[in-house]
Amino acid sequence: MNALIEQFFNLEVMAQAFPFLLKGLGVTILLTLLLTPLGLALGLALALGSSARHRGLRRAVRIWVNGFRGLPPLVLIIIVYSALPFLGLRTPPLMAVVIALWLNSSAYYCEILRAGLGSVPAGQMEAARATGLGRAQALRDVVLPQAVRNVLPDLASNTIELVKGTSLASIIGVSELLHMASNARSVVYNASPITLAALMYLAFLLPSVRLTGWLERRRRGA
Amino acid sequence: MRPILDIQALYKSFGDAEVLKNINLKVGEGEMVFLIGPSGSGKSTLLRCCNRLEEPTSGAIWMDNTNLLAGDTDINRMRQRIGMVFQGFNLYPHMTAEQNVMLALRRVQGKSEAEAREIARRELDRMGLAERFGHYPSQLSGGQQQRVAIARSLALGPRVMLMDEPTSALDPELVGGVLEAMREMKAAGMTMLVVSHEMRFAREAADRVAFMQAGEIVEYGTPAELLAREGGRARAFLGGEH
Amino acid sequence: MDLSRLIEVYFNAGVAWTYLPDLLHGAWVTVSLSVLVIAAGLVLGLAMALLRLVLPRWGVEVMRLWVDCLRAVPPLAVILLLYFGLPSVGLSISAFWVIWITLTLILSAFAEEIFWAGLEAIPAGQWEAARSTGMTQRQTLADVVLPQAFKICVPQLTNRTIGITKNTALGTAIGMPELLNEAQTALSFSGNATPLIMAAIGYLIIFLPLMALAGYLERSMSWGKTA
């Protein structure tokens, strides 16, 4: 039992590692703040693309989205990081992670927003157009707000997955939270920094998971 | 007439609210007894106590020589002999009409697949559903669904049927078929305890009517007796157009 | 950039042929690990959801906390924690089983939540109808409630299952020779990106049929309604 505490909950080690982990947390938050809007924007574009009139475009979007949903995000990161340089394209680790997770998360956001758009009755668009609104206006002011409302729990849940996914950046050396913890561990030969990192993730994400559950129950009740 | 169902001094409370107060009611063999009264008077709760979907607070319910509320009564065994039909049908949506009827025959009575199917088809046929054996509930009208639900209960060979507003969820034009099925059940000698708002049907078909108010049976008798009782509340209720 | 150079670097037949056996071995590890995670995770998740039907209130709260923690923590953090921490307390577990334990626990947490929502969505009338015909609670659960709950669960459950199973690729972080790891090794030996492309195609071959299966399952449980 003492060995367990010593190895996983060593307060002294945690205190030493804390400043480094805090820096890592900054990078994790930065990645999240960057990737969430990017992923949502591309996801929305893809969702609109999957309902485009042009059949070829629709099909291309489906292949693109399913392809990126079928690949583990880590595989994408490694490809962007290790395979693109063969073309002479140098991708620094941070950029590789942003590109890979952007492609990955936008594919998932696309599926969610597509379901959301599908959940809004066609009459809404027709009614808006009948009052003289343009297609883009009707989409922005009438359809999209309802679509987002209907899939809010799924969007929240996917954003949590995105935050968790940023931890994959540690594998190619981006100095985010888990990477800092992993480094600290290898210096002190003690797993407590990783425990601390896990607790820091929980501090942010556990309330988010609870919030998502609440949103989900509210949607079921409605 | 020997009572099949004998309810004695039955009480039921939800928390502080007493919803059934000192209910005493006998249902004789082959009798059709209607429970009527304003909503919230405890009719459905009383019905649901009779197969212990609701647990009464105190009292006794005798069926033949068994007290359903006794601690050592195997309620699952007794429930095969107490059929129940619900307002919302409650058919299993993932099973065909035939499978709906077969399930308890197989699981509870341990009948073979072939035997269960034969019984299911016979009961569905009696309900006029010979063409509907393989249909899922979503492919049937409300009236057909309710008749499948009745067949599901009858297939187990019950001594008494509890019917909880069996026609309330139906479109008006589908009510007749279900009432017709109930008439035929009565003609075949089935004992029935019915909660219903079909007053015209009650006047014509009921042997006895119990009028409930605020958790008590306040009037009891044949439809003719209640209709003849000057100033009784049941009279206004039972005389209504429905 | 000319086409022959592109093919040379990413679609090199010679490199592909040389490393195919290694990659196939890696794919085998990925598939077998995935199957073990899916089987154990779903069974454990269902067991937990059923347990929740009979647990006292405080027990439910403890279970919810456990489940939510597993949903909130990055899998890689758990993997590193177990892989590097456990040997120091005298528990040596191979990389394969560390991944299996981690992903099984995480999948079971998500599955519990989804199964529970499915059970809750079945109207009380279904229970009552079955109980009124003399069926026991267990029979009602098995024959009436669970088949309907499964139908509700399938879309979310398959999405989650596939999403979590893809994390078998994290094995490469602790040197387990699964598909991605073999590809990375081959890449550094050959100085050519073809093995990575092969791995990507391998993952698509493994996971795209699973995604299609999810759609098929949904349609096959429409029970007379046109889905």
Is residue C95 within 8 A of residue C176, CB to CB? The reply is: yes
Distance CA B4, CA B6 (A): 7
Higher pLDDT: C92 or A211? It is A211
State whether B138 and C151 contact (CB < 8 Å).
no
Distance CA C186, CA C195 (A): 6
What are the extents of the domains in chain B?
3-81+158-238, 97-156
Structure tokens at A182: 């992993």
Is residue B189 within 8 A of residue B159, CB to CB? The reply is: no
B49-67 confidence digits (pLDDT tens) = 999 999 999 999 999 889 9
C158-173 confidence digits (pLDDT tens) = 889 999 999 999 999 9
Distance CA B79, CA C133 (A): 6
pLDDT score, position A84: 87
Structure tokens at B103: 């399930």
Instruction: Provide the chain C residues 108-137 that lie in CB contact (below 8 A) with chain A.
Output: 113, 117, 121
Instruction: Provide the chain A residues 11-70 that lie in CB contact (below 8 A) with chain C.
Output: 66-67, 69-70
Query: Shortest CA distance to C143 belongs to which of C126, C123, C158?
Result: C126
Say whether B193 sits in a helix, a strand or coil.
strand
Interface mutation vs chain C, best among B75, B81, B94, most C CBs within 10 Å = B94
* C134 to chain A, closest Cα gap in Å: 31
Please report the beta strands in chain A, taking only residues with DSSP state E, as ranges in sequence order.
Answer: none
pLDDT score, position A87: 83
**Band of the pLDDT at C1, cuts 50, 70, 90?**
low
Among A1-5, A26-30, A155-159, A212-216, name the one with the lowest average pLDDT: A1-5
Distances (CA, A) of C216 to C43, C46, C198: 21, 22, 27
pLDDT of B11 strictly over 80 = yes
Q: Encode burial over A140-157: b for 16+ CB neighbours within 10 A, e otherwise.
A: eebbbeebbebbbbbbbb
Question: In which element (H, E) is residue B11 found?
Answer: strand B3-14
> B77 CB near a chain C CB, below 8 Å?
yes
pLDDT of A104 strictly over 80 = yes
C with A: 3 or more CB pairs under 8 Å? yes
Query: Shortest CA distance to C38 belongs to which of C177, C179, C159, C186?
Result: C159
Q: Which CATH class is domain C3-220?
A: mainly alpha
Mean pLDDT for C59-84 is 96
* A145 to chain C, closest Cα gap in Å: 23
Question: Is the CA virtual torsion C18, C22, C28, C31 positive or negative?
Answer: negative
State whether C193 and A82 contact (CB < 8 Å).
yes
The residue range of the domain holding A90 is: 2-221
Distance CA C205, CA B226 (A): 76
Question: In which element (H, E) is residue B212 found?
Answer: strand B208-213
For A66, counting Cβ atoms within 10 Å of its Cβ (0-12 exposed, 13-18 middle, 19+ buried), the class is middle
Shortest CA distance from B53: residue in chain C:
C128
CATH classification of B3-81+158-238 is 3.40.50.300, yes or no?
A: yes
A138-181 confidence digits (pLDDT tens) = 999 899 999 999 999 999 999 999 999 999 999 999 999 999 99
Domain CATH for A73: 1.10.3720.10
Shortest CA distance from C221: residue in chain B:
B94
* DSSP-derived secondary structure letter, C193: S
**What residues of chain B lie within 8 A of the CB of C139, using their CB?**
107-108
> Which amino acid would we find at residue A95?
M
State whether C128 and B90 contact (CB < 8 Å).
yes
Is residue B196 within 8 A of residue B206, CB to CB? The reply is: no
Mean pLDDT for B70-92 is 91
Structure tokens at A106: 């936008």
Structural domain count of chain A = 1
pLDDT score, position A222: 58
**Band of the pLDDT at C217, cuts 50, 70, 90?**
confident
Structure tokens at B62: 């005798």
Structure tokens at B216: 């008590």
> B82 CB near a chain C CB, below 8 Å?
yes
Distance CA A118, CA A70 (A): 23
Interface mutation vs chain B, best among C132, C137, C138, C146, most B CBs within 10 Å = C132
| Chains adjacent to B (≥3 CB pairs closer than 8 angstroms) | C
Alpha helices in chain B (DSSP H): 43-49, 75-79, 97-107, 113-126, 142-154, 172-187, 199-205, 223-228, 233-238
pLDDT of A135 strictly over 80 = yes
Say whether B8 sits in a helix, a strand or coil.
strand
* Residue bearing tokens 């919030």: A211
pLDDT of C82 strictly over 50 = yes
State whether B93 and C148 contact (CB < 8 Å).
yes
pLDDT score, position A220: 82
pLDDT score, position C226: 57
State whether A178 and C197 contact (CB < 8 Å).
no
**What residues of chain B lie within 8 A of the CB of C143, using their CB?**
103, 107
> Edge-to-edge strands of the sheet including B66-67?
B17-28, B3-14, B58-63, B66-67
> C200 CB near a chain A CB, below 8 Å?
yes
Distances (CA, A) of B93 to B68, C123, C143, C155: 30, 11, 12, 19
Structure tokens at A7: 């190895």
Shortest CA distance from A206: residue in chain C:
C72
Query: Which residues are CB-neighbours of C29 under 8 A, at least 6 positions away?
Result: C96, C171, C176, C177, C178, C179
ipTM: 0.92
**Band of the pLDDT at C227, cuts 50, 70, 90?**
very low
Is residue A93 within 8 A of residue A30, CB to CB? The reply is: no
Structure tokens at A105: 């998360």
> Edge-to-edge strands of the sheet including B32-36?
B82-85, B160-164, B191-195, B32-36, B208-213, B216-221
